[in-house]
Structure 1
Amino acid sequence: MNNRTRWLVLVLVLGVAGVVALWPRDKTPGPLPTPSRPSQDVSALRAQAQLRPCVPGEQGGVDVTCLGDGTRTALALKGPLLINFWATWCQPCQEELPVLDTYAKQPGAVPVVPVLVESREADGLELLARLGVRLPSVYDGADELRKRFKAPNRLPATYYIAADGQIRQITDPPFSAPEQVEKAVR
């Protein structure tokens, strides 16, 4: 091979590499990885979790799945209400959920709605049962509720909706005591 042919091959290789490097790629996230363990019976997990029923849906709400019974409902974003986004892999979320449950049992407590994101329903039900958390919880598989709140990707993320409809992000979670929750919703 002479020098001219070598240069021609080099230019062609670099050209192809440049096209591959600049070729547009689909940036939409793919599906969640399929777990290696066999799928569980979600209805059995619902029974085991013993979650309190979700509040019936309301027109204009965000479409979510009630974890307690699997029904689709339109979650009304009327205050006072405390919305808590969480995931099964989030360690601070696991520590905070029992605190939110304890707070919600107190007389005069603001209703608390945990919203499962970035996890499978079955995994969320399993975790809630293990933690003994019985709050009426929802699953936002399409991430519509989190988009509506423009919530950050970091978890947990907690929002307080006041009676007048004002939405405020609570920036100092995770909560470690029910008194912290009470103070945050005043």
Structure 2
Amino acid sequence: MKLTTGRILLIAIIGAVLGAAVGLWRGGSGPLLQSELGQRALHDALSATAPAPPQDLAIARRGEAVPPVRLPDLDGAPVDVPAAYAGRPLLVNFWASWCGPCIEEMPELNRYAGSHDADGARVIGIALDDADAVREFLTRIPVDYPILIDQAGPRDSSVQFGNPRGVLPYSVLISADGRLLKQKIGPFQHGEIDSWSETGE
């Protein structure tokens, strides 16, 4: 079969996306993926190759209001995101107890969550996982920020917050008035979260 320039380019793009995903999974993000430009390029590439989301599902877009979601906390009480945290920037981190890079970045997220006063950004974690597995995990590796529970799938809250492929870990920064400001695919490296969370508004 004769390969056209377009097919070669498509194969190269798919290979680059898969290579970036494997690199994130195995070794964390490099300098390019720690930059806003690198993150936007990775997000665009993953979005271009992702299956279309359900037509009736509201999906957040950068600069626009995130769709409201209601999720249970670890005690089963419903929490409305982002409304329950309105008035301050909100860093939402999607993770799972079986995700190695997620676990590695949790101490950094916990440090960041504890370093802000009443006016700083809040941190919440949304575990795309079984509630019992999350509770057991948190007895071994506790965190001081709130944890909510969701089930992974094509309609989960990470997809609604702009994660087309369901890659974990995935983080978003939401403004005090509920708009999606930034997206981060892959784990935070030590110290990276402080500069990343600057809103630049």
Superposition TM-score tier, normalisation by shorter sequence = 0.5 to 0.7
Q: Which has the higher contact order (CA 8 A, sep 6+)?
A: 2
Candidates 98, 104, 119, aligned match of 1:95: 104
Report whether the alignment pairs 1:183 with 2:195: yes
- Structure 2 distance, partners of 1:172, 1:140, is 18
- Deviation at residue 164 of structure 1 after TM alignment: 4.4
Report whether the alignment pairs 1:141 with 2:156: no
- Deviation at residue 85 of structure 1 after TM alignment: 0.5
- Structure 2 distance, partners of 1:83, 1:115, is 7
- Deviation at residue 156 of structure 1 after TM alignment: 0.2
- Structure 2 distance, partners of 1:164, 1:65, is 22
Equivalent in the alignment of 1:114 = 125
Q: Taking every aligned residue pair, what percent have the same amino acid on both sides?
A: 31
Note the 1:153-172 alignment, pairs <5 A: 153-171=166-184
- Deviation at residue 107 of structure 1 after TM alignment: 2.9
Say if 1:159 and 1:168, in contact at 8 Å, map to a contact too.
yes
Unaligned runs of 5+ in 2: 1-66
Large movers: runs of 4+ above 6 Å: none
Aligned residues: CA RMSD: 2.2
Equivalent in the alignment of 2:22 = none
- Deviation at residue 173 of structure 1 after TM alignment: 4.1
Unaligned runs of 5+ in 1: 1-59
Equivalent in the alignment of 2:79 = 73
- Structure 2 distance, partners of 1:171, 1:132, is 23
Say if 1:128 and 1:134, in contact at 8 Å, map to a contact too.
no
- Structure 2 distance, partners of 1:107, 1:147, is 28
Letter in 2 for 1:149: F
Q: Flag the structure with larger Rg.
A: 1
Say if 2:171 and 2:185, in contact at 8 Å, map to a contact too.
no
- Deviation at residue 111 of structure 1 after TM alignment: 0.3
- Structure 1 distance, partners of 2:78, 2:176, is 25
- Structure 2 distance, partners of 1:147, 1:172, is 12
**Would you say how many aligned residue pairs link Structure 1 and Structure 2?**
124
Letter in 1 for 2:150: D
Say if 1:62 and 1:144, in contact at 8 Å, map to a contact too.
no
- Structure 2 distance, partners of 1:153, 1:107, is 29
